């Protein structure tokens, strides 16, 4: 599920790299995209190693993205809403949606930490939790200054 969730963040971040009006938002989106890609690859490699299958919706760009709900929208609705915005309105909506998205990821990471057993997966969960909590703080600060 976390892979699908990460794909949603990557999709939003790549759009923000192209469309954000504030340099700080674009730079943040670049960092998010740079982090999510390798984490997706790592988790995908674990599925192969563990002889598990990636969820069918993930293989087809799944619009559900791990059950993530952002301000009452699923991934497809969030992307459609973002695609209609420009300038500061785009930046603000991207940040609001990404904060909600990151909160979902930190919840999944906490579940992994509470229930998981694989040391590598636990280490990644800790990293995701810590990194995304720091980014949530950064995004909330950016929102206050837009």
Average pLDDT on 39-57 reads: 81
Residue 113 lies in a domain: no
Residue 137 lies in a domain: no
C-alpha triplet 126, 52, 38: angle, nearest 5°: 45
Residue 66: pLDDT over 60:
no
Residue 119 lies in a domain: no
Closest CA to 16 of 34, 2, 30: 30
Could you tell me the residue range of the domain that residue 22 belongs to?
2-101
* Average pLDDT, rounded, for the chain: 88
Phi-psi map region of 54: left, alpha, beta (phi>0 left; psi -120 to 50 alpha): beta
At residue 68 the predicted structure's pLDDT band, cuts being 50, 70 and 90, is low
Residue 10 lies in a domain: yes
At residue 126 the predicted structure's pLDDT band, cuts being 50, 70 and 90, is very high
* Residue that is written with structure tokens 């979902």 in the block: 104
* CATH number assigned to the domain comprising residue 81: 1.20.1260.10
The model carries a pTM of 0.86
Which residues, including other chains, have CB under 8 Å from residue 42's CB and lie 6 or more apart?
Answer: 124
Residue 57 lies in a domain: yes
Whether 65 contacts 74, CB under 8 Å: yes
C-alpha triplet 108, 48, 106: angle, nearest 5°: 10
Average pLDDT on 63-92 reads: 80
Residue 65 lies in a domain: yes
Which residues, including other chains, have CB under 8 Å from residue 137's CB and lie 6 or more apart?
Answer: none
**How many domains in the chain?**
1
Residue 94 lies in a domain: yes
């Amino acid at each position: 599920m976390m892979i699908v969730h990460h794909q949603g963040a990557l999709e939003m971040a790549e759009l923000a790299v192209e469309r954000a009006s504030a340099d700080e938002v674009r730079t943040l989106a670049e960092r998010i995209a740079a982090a999510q890609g390798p984490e997706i690859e790592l988790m995908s490699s674990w599925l192969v190693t563990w002889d598990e299958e990636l969820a069918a919706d993930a293989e087809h760009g799944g619009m559900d993205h791990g059950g993530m709900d952002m301000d009452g929208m699923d991934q497809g609705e969030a992307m459609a809403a973002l695609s209609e915005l420009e300038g500061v309105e785009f930046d603000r909506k991207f940040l609001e949606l990404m904060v909600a998205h990151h909160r979902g990821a930190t919840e999944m990471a906490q579940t992994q930490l509470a229930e998981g057993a694989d040391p590598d997966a636990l280490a990644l969960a800790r990293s995701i939790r810590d990194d995304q909590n720091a980014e949530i703080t950064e995004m909330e600060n950016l929102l206050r200054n837009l």
